[in-house]
Amino acid sequence: GNSVTQMEGPVTLSEEAFLTINCTYTATGYPSLFWYVQYPGEGLQLLLKATKADDKGSNKGFEATYRKETTSFHLEKGSVQVSDSAVCFCALSDLISGGYNKLIFGAGTRLAVHP
């Protein structure tokens, strides 16, 4: 079945460092891909998404490019801030009955940014 694999954390960085969190997927067809974040004590928020190959999703300085050839959707940011500390989830859309999609999530990667 379809699945998502993302790098284990925690990822610990100093403020202004470059961030990469790897995400690869296994899927039949061409799913949409998402990054969700969960800040401490809060629920999930959509960070960015891409719906077809070579699309780049971006938001709040974060970027991820849908790479069909490597089945990847790595999350990057050029200069992280303390306020970026969160658990980051990579996810893909997977078809369920009735023509709807559910999300399949990776295990999550904790990002900790220190001053």
Partner 1 sequence: NAGVTQTPKFQVLKTGQSMTLQCAQDMNHEYMSWYRQDPGMGLRLIHYSVGAGITDQGEVPNGYNVSRSTTEDFPLRLLSAAPSQTSVYFCASSFRTGGSSAGNTIYFGEGSWLTVV
Distance of alpha carbon 74 from alpha carbon 29, whole angstroms: 19
Number of residues in contact with partner 1 under rule CB under 8 A: 28
User: Which residue's structure tokens are 């990002």?
Assistant: 111
For residue 66, give both structure tokens: 């849908």
Looking at 7, 11, 27, 44, which residue binds partner 1 (CB under 8 A)?
44
Q: Closest CB to partner 1 among 68 and 78?
A: 68
Phi, psi for residue 46 in degrees, rounded to 5: -70, 125
Q: Which is nearer to partner 1, 24 or 32 (CB)?
A: 32
Q: Which residues bind partner 1 (CB under 8 A)?
A: 4, 31-32, 36, 42-46, 49-51, 89, 91, 93, 95-103, 105-108
